């Protein structure tokens, strides 16, 4: 606050007097500023509360948010199409590509499994579960993982396909015994039959070649011996061969076995001789074919009418280990 000096002439005495007045200019300015602020806030209150209008910056942010939300919704719709395409690829992979090479289907839990580690969604924890940004982010990550699993599966199929030149030699494609006249008699085909011991209906999971004990038994395809067992009941003395590509064969009720576990065999190698060990009513060879862990009809994989001379040219003479 400052003082102002003024000289005033007294008209009666004609004397000039000096007077000092206090200056209130600063207070006036402050009062004007405060009044302006009050009027401004009153304007904002009327603009926002009474008329329900947004401030210019708020309106701009809302327009930008609506634009990004629209983009994310379109992206979410495209993800629906991508997920459907990926699901179709998974079905084709399991039922066609992997099936051709005898590979097991990829479990659904494996295709949908996440990848452990640091919480990659910590930044999304502040958003509610219905937020479109959170939804699209999670879906993108999920599809990325599924695509990775599918890509690895195609790599496995491709690698196996490149090595499938030996597939024809591995599939069990010949009878397990020579089909010379009177060498054997087919007594029980694949399918439901009356159990020869119990007399009740029961699934017969292979084919029975009735023959005298001692008939040579041959590997029906290239593979690796995965089991050599000597049972007093059930299959008796038997051998299992894993041919790869989903195929396994079993030769049961043998009298002699010439192979050992881990041994690699070629089609036509003699693995033993027929007999009547185990649960049997007479001497015979029980032969089974499993494809991807399921029993299948062995008759679909052999030609019993093959010329005996041609069959003899494919097999090797029996040899003891």
Domain of residue 114 covers 75-162
Residue 67 within a domain? no
What is the model's pLDDT at position 262? 96
Residue 248 has pLDDT above 70, yes or no: yes
Residue 228 within a domain? yes
Same domain, 126 and 177: no
Same domain, 101 and 124: yes
Q: What's the CA gap between 298 and 293, in Å, rounded?
A: 14
Same domain, 101 and 185: no
> How sure is the predictor about 321, in pLDDT bands with cuts at 50, 70 and 90?
very low
What is the model's pLDDT at position 241? 98
Cβ-Cβ contacts under 8 Å for 284 (sequence gap 6 or more) = 184, 187, 208, 209, 210, 211, 253, 274, 276
What is the pTM (predicted TM-score) of this model? Answer: 0.61
Task: Return the structure tokens found at 194.
Answer: 């009356």
Nearest CA among 230, 226, 253 for reference residue 241? 226
Q: What is the pLDDT of residues 144-187, one digit of tens each?
A: 888 888 888 888 888 877 776 678 889 999 999 998 888 899 99
Q: What is the pLDDT of residues 184-221, one digit of tens each?
A: 999 989 988 776 666 667 899 999 999 999 999 999 99
Contact 232, 278 (CB under 8 A): yes
Q: Residue 233: how many CA atoms within 13 Å on its side-chain side?
A: 1
Task: Return the structure tokens found at 128.
Answer: 């509610």
Q: What's the CA gap between 273 and 252, in Å, rounded?
A: 10
Residue 299 within a domain? yes
Residue 320 has pLDDT above 60, yes or no: no
Contact 217, 295 (CB under 8 A): no
Same domain, 158 and 182: no
Same domain, 45 and 86: no
Task: Return the structure tokens found at 317.
Answer: 């003479």
Residue 297 within a domain? yes
Contact 221, 267 (CB under 8 A): yes
If residue 280 lies in a helix (H) or strand (E), which one and from where to where?
none
Question: Could you give the dihedral angle defined by the CA atoms of residues 137, 141, 146 and 151, in that order, rounded to the nearest 10 degrees?
Answer: 120
Residue 56 has pLDDT above 70, yes or no: no
Largest distance between two CA atoms of the chain: 166
What is the model's pLDDT at position 122? 63
What is the model's pLDDT at position 20? 62
Q: What is the pLDDT of residues 66-102, one digit of tens each?
A: 888 888 888 888 888 888 888 888 888 888 778 777 7
Same domain, 177 and 156: no
What is the model's pLDDT at position 54? 60
Same domain, 276 and 221: yes
Count structural domains, the chain.
3
Q: What is the pLDDT of residues 270-297, one digit of tens each?
A: 999 999 999 888 899 999 999 989 999 9
What is the average pLDDT across 307-319? Answer: 84
Same domain, 150 and 177: no
Strand partners, 22: 3
Which CATH number does the domain housing residue 289 bear? 2.70.70.10
């Amino acid at each position: 606050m400052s003082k102002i000096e003024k000289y005033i002439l007294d008209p009666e005495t004609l004397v000039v007097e000096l007077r000092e007045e206090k200056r209130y200019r600063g207070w006036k300015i402050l009062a004007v500023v405060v009044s302006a602020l009050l009027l401004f806030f009153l304007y904002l209150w009327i603009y926002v509360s009474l008329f329900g209008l947004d401030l210019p910056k708020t309106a701009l942010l809302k327009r930008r948010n609506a634009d990004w939300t629209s983009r994310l919704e379109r992206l979410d719709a495209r993800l629906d199409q991508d997920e459907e395409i990926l699901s179709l690829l998974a079905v084709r992979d399991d039922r066609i590509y992997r099936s051709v090479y005898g590979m097991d289907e990829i479990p659904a839990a494996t295709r949908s499994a996440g990848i452990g580690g640091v919480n990659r969604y910590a930044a999304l924890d502040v958003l509610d579960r219905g937020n479109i940004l959170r939804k699209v982010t999670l879906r993108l990550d999920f599809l990325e993982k599924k695509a990775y699993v599918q890509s690895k599966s195609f790599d496995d199929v491709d690698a196996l396909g490149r090595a499938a030149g030996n597939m024809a030699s591995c599939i069990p494609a010949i009878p397990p015994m020579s089909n010379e006249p009177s060498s054997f008699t087919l007594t029980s085909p694949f399918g439901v039959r009356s159990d020869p011991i119990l007399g009740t209906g029961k699934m017969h999971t292979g084919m029975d070649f009735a023959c005298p004990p001692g008939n040579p038994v041959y590997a029906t395809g290239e593979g690796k011996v995965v089991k050599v067992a000597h049972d007093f009941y059930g299959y008796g003395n038997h051998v299992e061969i894993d041919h790869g590509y989903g195929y396994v064969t079993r030769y049961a009720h043998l009298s002699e076995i010439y192979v050992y576990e881990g041994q690699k065999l070629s089609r036509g190698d003699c693995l033993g001789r027929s007999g009547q060990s185990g649960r049997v009513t007479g001497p015979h060879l029980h032969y089974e074919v499993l494809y991807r862990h399921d029993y299948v009809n062995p008759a679909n994989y052999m030609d019993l009418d093959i010329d005996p001379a041609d069959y003899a040219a494919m097999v090797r003479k029996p040899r003891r280990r």
